[in-house]
Amino acid sequence: MNQPQAGHKDNLPPEWRALADAALEARKRAYVPYSNFQVGAALLDEQGVIHFGCNVENGAYSPTNCAERTALHRAIADGHRPRSFRAIAVTGDTQQPITPCGVCRQVIAELCAPDMPIIMTNTKGDWRITTITELLPGAFSLEDERNQAQS
Ligand SMILES: [Zn+2]
């Protein structure tokens, strides 16, 4: 890619600004009575529609769901095909642009194309663009396992 891969607000590539803003908006909807740590995600589908995601906590802890997975699971339930998405933006109140947790990385590897842009931001406007190939090298894939078993 010829575009810058990290920076601050003003030099975020224009094509991703609306998506980054949507992640900030989605963050306000987070249900986080335990951690008080709000995270927002915005997933861009193949038709240019943005799907919101926020973290949703639970008093039993393990049912807690992250913003990225909320957005992806919603879009799949709404009929979008895995690996059809154009990009996802994620934001939180972190010192550096927030990064998806390990569980979300595995879900992104399953449902998104290996080279799909992941726009990581924070509430201050710092950003970094990456891909799941960079975030989760060697991701487990049952599909790959099946394909290799057949060849
Ligand atoms: Zn996560």
User: What pLDDT digit, counting tens, does each position of 102-139 carry?
Assistant: 999 999 999 999 999 999 999 999 999 999 999 999 99
Q: Which of 61-70, 77-86, 137-146 has the lowest mean pLDDT?
A: 137-146
Q: Tokens 């995270």 label which residue?
A: 39
Protein residues within 5 Å, CB atom, of ion ligand 1? 66, 101, 104
Q: What is the pLDDT of residue 102?
A: 97
Q: What is the reported pLDDT for 137?
A: 94
Confidence (pLDDT) at 3:
63
Structural domain including 28 reads: 6-130
What pLDDT sits at residue 33?
98
The whole-number pLDDT of residue 122 equals: 98
Kindly state whether residue 87 falls inside one of the protein's structural domains. Answer: yes
Catalytic residues: 68
Local structure of 68: helix, strand or coil: helix
Rounded Cα distance between 88 and 20, Å, is 9
What is the distance in A from the centroid of ligand 1 to the CA of 109? 12
- The band of 2, judged by pLDDT with boundaries at 50, 70 and 90, is low
In a domain, 72, yes or no: yes
Distance 70 CA to ligand 1 centre (A): 9
**Residues 6 or more apart from 2 whose CB is under 8 A from it?**
none
Q: Tell whether 150 is covered by a domain.
A: no
- The pLDDT, as a whole number, for residue 151 is 76
Cα 8 to chain centroid distance, Å, stands at 19
- Summary mean pLDDT of the chain: 95
Instruction: Provide the H-helix boundaries in the chain.
Output: 17-27, 67-77, 102-111, 132-135, 142-150
Q: What is the pLDDT of residue 144?
A: 85
Q: How much is the pTM?
A: 0.94
Cβ atoms of 42 and 89 within 8 Å: the answer is yes
Asked if 44 and 72 count as a contact pair (C-beta separation under 8 A), the reply is no
Tally of domains in the chain: 1
Q: What is the largest CA-CA distance in the chain?
A: 50
Does 106 map to a domain?
yes
Cα separation, 72 vs 78, in Å, equals: 10
- CA 100 – ligand 1 centroid, Å: 5
Does the pLDDT value for residue 10 go beyond 90? no
Q: What is the CATH number of the domain that holds 123?
A: 3.40.140.10
- Residue 91 located in a structural domain: yes
